[in-house]
């Protein structure tokens, strides 16, 4: 039988695929952990995978890869899609797709399968990454092609001896390092918020808590003084802040296929890290660095969202972003509160707000009143000329 | 004596100016209300102005002008400087400067005075607007030129028979329609937050409250179903939300004179209106409208902040923004909570998220699986070609 | 029989379509003149159309529409794709598609056909415009679907009694108001230029000739003092400049389908008008108008090229561009020479380069040396602070 | 006496400065060669410098530095200010200022002098670079401060024993690697072109000549197959192309001080290199690389022009640009003709226009007609939805 690699999550859809494809192919199931799985969950997925008849199962730990290849740049760029969404799932899918296709190439698979429907973004990300990195490996997508109902899938599995409980959760949840997405009947409407219980974390602490985040060249290198790899620090921050139910929101965005989509999410570490990092940048970067970063970061987010991660322009943007982080080092203090957080302030030896050079609105140490007047006069020169040239012209 | 118009706020600095200038000029004091003054406060300013020896005093009600000339576009653009600050003061100063210089021209004044120091943004905004709209009216700035201490000013006033209480408030507060700025000893540091009491509003309501905001072509035309002029609605929203102490933050930004400045603010209506408006846009605008609006709005904010309001490019940007609002009509429901708010959702007949055209990730009503595959194949064409062309090249 | 409208050019492909479709449908042939056809050519197309068996033939004169809906904004934006190509064909196709689908709707056609292949941009433009403006009219594309060779088409026509000479021209030429595109065997390579004879115009005049172009709010209202509609003036300029073989170049661009495409063109009026208009703008617009117009115009060109003309963001951009032209009025003198042209200069009452305000590098009338020094000191403030803060830090 | 370094060109202004400053300071004259000087010219400048009474004279050869620090990135970005001017002088001044201030620091000078007037850009560039890199070295600018006439300077020199011929050339010319600027009475008007004789080069060859330019990662590494350092290749190309009087134009731009300025230039190598490099990029870069490079390059040019070279954002942009050149390698053939040139085509192993993947408009090898239809259907999805949602709504 020909080798096939399947992106396997253990849910109903990929279980159906695993079972049905195993009849024709030598199926190698792969799941990629980008921060959402515990060891116990992975073990359970593995056990189930073999029940579905796959030849091998492999879990790839891609948390560090995920951070280094994508999340890092999302932080450098303070990327929030439509000023809201940290692109949690969009970013994960890219790395998952890359890891899976590389695995497929490494075992000389002829086929690769994924469980996406034809209605969303994931199919685009998977197909595009697969086709680009391995144009000769054929893609198989039973869910998209066959358009079965859940019941039909369950029945099929039962017929094939898989009698598990496939009860549909009220809310579909996708968990990862950079955030958890939450879909439900409400997110299919435009007007309804998700209820409290739809979110994975609930408020456990009522009292405020201060957290010190330490950045070095834009990377989160310590939380409360404890140094660790950035991806570990993000996880630590997720744990601290989810006790306050921080980081919930609903994103409404443009899918790659042209329709609007709405999804709830809970991303405490992502939102806090980005806001803290941005504050540190406001103190350490120049006006033009802040301005041009906006353009770069906005398009970086758009292209990533749309599955264009392999476009070389992404590497060019990453070079810009990396270069911009040279002085983004220092501490940021954040106060966690139920459902929200605030930024206390920063401390950095690269802080450009130094009383040595004058205090805004208070004292001009670096220049005289006359120099200020000269500045303003010439700074406003063009508008003055424009006004005078055009003041008495009719057209 | 020659006519001089002074931008008069009633504070120590402009009182000093009024008294000292009245010795040499026929002083006409003007204050411009952009939403910060009550009738009682204006009356008090007027009474005091005459005590300072001015010839006339005039309060110009510019709330509607402020809304129509600037605030409207800040909403259309969802403008938050550095993703934080609604440009409350920056925007006010522009309109105040325009109103004052137009008044000065209308009474044929030869001089115009303002009380800004040489250390901040306001001097730039006042000077630039004055010079551009009335190049022949000479500008006088005693505070900037003389660099007196508060005590010297108080002594001078006392010597001249003005013995009022000039005790310095612990926090300097500037109130307006679009927000209240708060400065204090903490904002002169990089690391300290403002204490609770520094903010003008405190939490009065513990229970959540839902508010329905109705937008028509991007303008806030009703609050909870009550129609009114947008500037009135903003004030209503300010009142509702300040009971929850919503809208506090600290802005760190680049001043026009090159130093970094930090200022606290409380802007409940501004933040809620912008977030609600933006959500409505996410449902009603196309992807490219959302994307290009970001560029326009970001620079609109920068130029406004830097006093370039009279640059004709601002009119060009306003034309873009106005045009983009054609379908931004509908209701947005917001939930107010202590210190923060959340957006429930929207309802609009222009909503592009319609189940009629498919549901994100669930069902592709508008296209088949094969069409999706064709789309992805060609959408990813260039990256595939790039990868193949460059896969085995060394340099 | 059911009504079908076909976009008919009279070439082999659309002739094949007309004949074969007439067997099953009541075929209404339409050609849209966007500046490429003479009366004689249209008459010939009409005669031939009826030979192909169509029920009716109609030529729509869309030259003025073409100018008013697209060309005008391409001039306002000085749009040259990849800094080279005036988007001649891209722009024409959009207007042709709109005119044809509107015609189809007006006669209640159920089908619409075009002769594009599956390899290029035109299919995207036609399909997208058709589907957007008339989602219920079905699209038929025999050439794309059947993939016939030229010989098969010729044979089919002969079998059906159409025995015309279909010899393939060495160069395929598409003529329109905004330029003529030229494709040939050389444009299928990356390294070969088109030979002299491939271009429609050859040098007739050796002596230089000066042309005065008059713009009013960005529109070309007169050539050499003779006022006329802008589209007529463009045609006049085409005639004047093609006698010098001006405006030839080869464009290499990204097709909508992801491959690179190369096409020669000759667009004398487009290139001269854009360069002259841009020069006038450099004199009459502010720095920021020129800067932001670049962003808008570049994306306007991209979206137009990719068939997104109906995206409402295009209307928003047009509002910006229209607004920016308020003062772009005046005369520009151009010197035509064999194969190239140069711009002599401009004359405008809105010219911001007025000796009254100082002469660049020579004399500073509007400010003193001290004011200049003050300006520079503060203008450079942030970089100075940055350098000092970071001068002795290691990381 | 205290040490002073003067930026010395040997012209009347800097000669006046050298003589008058030598009375009070120990003057060290420095000239920086960014490509404009021959050995003989430098020797003459040196001889004259000593006549003016300076203590030492030094010529710094900065041609390679100029290329590596600025010109390289201007090529990577295809930077033409206002789509016209290669920023020849703007770029030179920056490097000259850096070299001079570094020299002043190396000899512990307390003062630094330059001969700029108060009316132009150069004063801003010199002052800003000096102040940023050496805030403690005081700047002296006799020409700006004293506002002498030429005659007064000549008389002063004569009185001090310097009786040289200072006849004013009809055209002031500034020569450098990246172009020669030409100012004259015509450039002080808006309507007059420079006459033929104002330009330094005249047509010597009537016959066309082909030149092969070889780029490696964006750098011009060979001309006609002869490898050399890029700055040498640029000089070679300048020599080849100036025999055809190629590269003349007039730039109208916004000075840093707000007025418009007009200057003629002749920059054959700059224009040819940029156009050839850009063509190679059109073949080797993706659509999004080309698009985002435009934004970066446009602002890179603006900031460079305005003396902001030391802003760290310039390093970030250079990182982007450098990264984008990874595959920009290959040959470009250019045909030189009297007064103009044309690009024949390119050859590159990174060429994305490969018939292997289909030929534009001719044959779709990489996809089927159905796939193309699927692509178009979904690509146009949002506009279709927009149109349907909004088709029958009134507001």
d(CA A347, CA A333): 9
Mutate to test the interface with B, among A260, A335, A378 (most CBs of B within 10 A): A260
Closest in A260, A279, A351 to B353, CB measured = A260
The answer to whether the CB atoms of C380 and B323 lie below 8 A apart is no
Per-residue confidence (pLDDT) for residue C393, from 0 to 100? 54
Per-residue confidence (pLDDT) for residue C377, from 0 to 100? 92
Residues of A in contact with C283 (CB under 8 A): none
A25-33, strands of its sheet edge to edge: A56-61, A25-33, A2-7, A111-113, A138-140
CA distances from D43 to D10, D31, D49, D175 (A): 11, 11, 10, 17
Instruction: Return the ∠ at Cα B249 (arms to A89 and A217), rounded to 5°.
Output: 55
pLDDT band at C177 (very low <50, low <70, confident <90, very high): very high
Closest in D313, D317, D322 to A286, CB measured = D313
pLDDT band at D366 (very low <50, low <70, confident <90, very high): confident
**What interhelical angle do D287-305 and A287-305 show, nearest 10?**
180
Mutate to test the interface with B, among A194, A289, A372 (most CBs of B within 10 A): A372
d(CA A146, CA A140): 11
Reported as a single tens digit per residue, the pLDDT across D170-179 is: 999 999 999 9
Strand stretches in chain A, DSSP E:
2-7, 25-33, 56-61, 111-113, 138-140, 172-176, 179-183, 209-216, 219-223, 226-227, 248-254, 260-266, 330-337, 340-347
Task: Give yes or no for residue C349 having a pLDDT over 60.
Answer: yes
Reported as a single tens digit per residue, the pLDDT across A90-145 is: 999 999 999 999 999 999 999 999 999 999 999 999 999 999 999 999 999 999 99
Q: State phi, psi for C219 to the nearest 5 degrees.
A: -100, 145
d(CA A89, CA D83): 41
Reported as a single tens digit per residue, the pLDDT across A136-178 is: 999 999 999 998 889 999 999 999 999 888 887 899 999 999 9
d(CA C76, CA C71): 9
Question: Domain ranges in chain C?
Answer: 2-159, 172-285+327-347, 361-390
The stretch D73-99 carries a mean pLDDT of 96
Element (H, E) at B222: strand B219-223
Q: Which CATH superfamily is domain C2-159 in?
A: HUPs (3.40.50.620)
Element (H, E) at A123: helix A122-133
Residues of D in contact with C144 (CB under 8 A): 369, 372-373
d(CA B72, CA B66): 9
Per-residue confidence (pLDDT) for residue A362, from 0 to 100? 73
Per-residue confidence (pLDDT) for residue D395, from 0 to 100? 52
Per-residue confidence (pLDDT) for residue B393, from 0 to 100? 55
Task: Give yes or no for residue C269 having a pLDDT over 60.
Answer: yes
Strands B219-223 and B226-227 turn out to be: antiparallel
DSSP line for A229-244: -HHHHHHHHHHHHHTT
Task: Give yes or no for residue D354 having a pLDDT over 90.
Answer: no
Comparison of pLDDT for D147 and C210, the residue scoring more: C210
| Numbered residues of chain A with Cβ closer than 8 Å to any chain C Cβ | 216-217, 286-287, 327, 329, 349-352, 354, 357, 366-368, 370-375, 377-379, 381-386, 388-390, 393, 395
**Lowest-pLDDT choice from B265-274, B366-375, C251-260, C351-360:** C351-360
Chains touching chain B, criterion 3+ CB pairs below 8 Å: A, C, D
The stretch C104-117 carries a mean pLDDT of 97
Residue B169, Cβ density class (10 Å: 0-12 exposed, 13-18 middle, ≥19 buried): exposed
The mean of the pLDDT values for chain D is 95
Per-residue confidence (pLDDT) for residue A365, from 0 to 100? 82
Residues of A in contact with B310 (CB under 8 A): 383, 387
d(CA B133, CA B137): 9
Residues of D in contact with B384 (CB under 8 A): 366
Reported as a single tens digit per residue, the pLDDT across A269-313 is: 999 999 999 999 999 999 999 999 999 999 999 999 999 999 999
Per-residue confidence (pLDDT) for residue A394, from 0 to 100? 55
CA D359 to chain centre: 38
Per-residue confidence (pLDDT) for residue C395, from 0 to 100? 52
pLDDT band at C209 (very low <50, low <70, confident <90, very high): very high
Reported as a single tens digit per residue, the pLDDT across C296-312 is: 999 999 999 999 999 99
The three-state secondary structure class of C146 is: helix
The answer to whether the CB atoms of B385 and C289 lie below 8 A apart is no
Strands C179-183 and C172-176 turn out to be: antiparallel
Question: Of the candidates D381, A339, A85, A291, which has an alpha carbon nearest to the alpha carbon of residue B282?
Answer: A85
d(CA B292, CA C319): 13
Per-residue confidence (pLDDT) for residue A293, from 0 to 100? 98
The total of other beta-carbon atoms located within 10 Å of residue B103's CB is: 18
Residues of C in contact with D183 (CB under 8 A): 361
The three-state secondary structure class of D108 is: coil
Residue B63, Cβ density class (10 Å: 0-12 exposed, 13-18 middle, ≥19 buried): buried
d(CA B38, CA A327): 46
Architecture of the domain spanning A172-285+327-347 = Alpha-Beta Complex (3.90)
The three-state secondary structure class of D33 is: strand
- The percentage of residues in chain A with a pLDDT greater than 70, rounded to a whole number, is 99
DSSP line for B274-321: HHHHHHHHHHHS-HHHHHHHHHHHHHHHHHHHTT-TTSHHHHHHHHHH
Reported as a single tens digit per residue, the pLDDT across C8-19 is: 999 999 999 999
Residues of B in contact with C327 (CB under 8 A): 312
d(CA B23, CA B53): 9
Start-to-end CA distance of chain B, whole Å, equals 79
Tens digit of pLDDT at every position of chain B (395 positions): 899 999 999 999 999 999 999 999 999 999 999 998 899 999 999 999 999 999 999 999 999 999 999 999 999 999 999 999 999 999 999 999 999 999 999 999 999 999 999 999 999 999 999 999 999 999 999 999 998 889 999 999 999 999 888 887 899 999 999 999 999 999 999 999 999 999 999 999 999 999 999 999 999 999 999 999 999 999 999 999 999 999 999 999 999 999 999 999 999 999 999 999 999 999 999 999 999 999 999 999 999 999 999 999 999 999 999 999 999 999 999 999 999 999 999 999 999 998 777 777 777 888 999 999 999 999 999 999 999 999 865 55
pLDDT band at C394 (very low <50, low <70, confident <90, very high): low
**What does chain A come to in residues?**
395
Structure token digits, residue D152: 């007064």
Reported as a single tens digit per residue, the pLDDT across D22-44 is: 999 999 999 999 998 899 999 99
Per-residue confidence (pLDDT) for residue A393, from 0 to 100? 54
d(CA D260, CA D330): 39
d(CA D347, CA B353): 47
The answer to whether the CB atoms of B371 and D383 lie below 8 A apart is no
Beta bridge partners of A85: A81
Mutate to test the interface with D, among C86, C149, C360 (most CBs of D within 10 A): C360
The answer to whether the CB atoms of A340 and B335 lie below 8 A apart is no
The three-state secondary structure class of D284 is: helix
Reported as a single tens digit per residue, the pLDDT across A37-65 is: 899 999 999 999 999 999 999 999 999 99
Residues of B in contact with C384 (CB under 8 A): 258
């Amino acid at each position: 039988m020909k080798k096939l690699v399947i992106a396997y999550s253990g849910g109903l859809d990929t279980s159906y695929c695993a079972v049905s494809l195993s009849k024709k192919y030598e199926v190698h199931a792969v799941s990629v952990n980008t921060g959402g799985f515990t060891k116990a969950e992975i073990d359970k997925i593995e056990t189930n995978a073999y029940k579905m008849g796959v030849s091998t199962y492999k879990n790839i730990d891609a948390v560090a890869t995920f951070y280094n290849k994508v999340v890092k740049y999302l932080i450098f760029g303070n990327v929030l899609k439509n000023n809201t969404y940290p692109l949690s799932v969009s970013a994960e899918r890219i790395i998952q797709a890359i890891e899976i296709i590389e695995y497929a190439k490494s075992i000389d698979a002829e086929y690769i399968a994924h469980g996406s429907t034809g209605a969303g973004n994931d199919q685009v990300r998977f197909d595009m990454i697969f086709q680009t990195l391995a144009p000769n490996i054929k893609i198989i997508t039973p869910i998209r092609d066959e358009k079965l109902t859940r019941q039909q899938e369950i029945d099929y599995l039962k017929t094939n001896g898989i009698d598990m409980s496939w009860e549909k959760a009220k809310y579909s949840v996708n968990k990862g390092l950079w955030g958890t997405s939450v879909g439900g009947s409400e997110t299919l409407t435009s007007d309804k918020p998700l209820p409290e219980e739809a979110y994975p974390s609930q408020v456990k602490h009522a009292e405020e808590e201060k957290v010190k985040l330490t950045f070095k060249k834009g990377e989160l290198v310590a939380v409360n003084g404890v140094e660790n790899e950035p991806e570990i620090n993000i996880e630590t921050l997720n744990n601290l802040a989810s006790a306050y139910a921080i980081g919930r929101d609903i994103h409404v965005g443009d899918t790659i296929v042209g329709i609007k989509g709405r999804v709830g999410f809970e991303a405490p570490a992502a939102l806090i890290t980005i806001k803290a990092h941005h504050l540190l940048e406001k103190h350490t970067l120049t006006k033009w660095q802040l301005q041009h970063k906006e353009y770069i970061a906005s398009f970086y987010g758009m292209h990533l969202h749309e599955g264009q991660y392999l476009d070389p322009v992404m590497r060019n943007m990453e070079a810009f972003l990396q270069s911009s982080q040279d002085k983004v080092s220092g501490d940021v203090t954040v106060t966690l509160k139920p459902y929200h957080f605030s930024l206390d302030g920063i401390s950095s030896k690269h802080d450009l707000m130094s009383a040595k050079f004058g205090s805004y609105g208070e004292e001009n140490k670096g220049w005289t009143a006359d120099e200020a007047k000269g500045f303003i006069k010439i700074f406003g020169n063009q508008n003055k000329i424009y006004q005078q040239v055009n003041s008495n012209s009719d057209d």
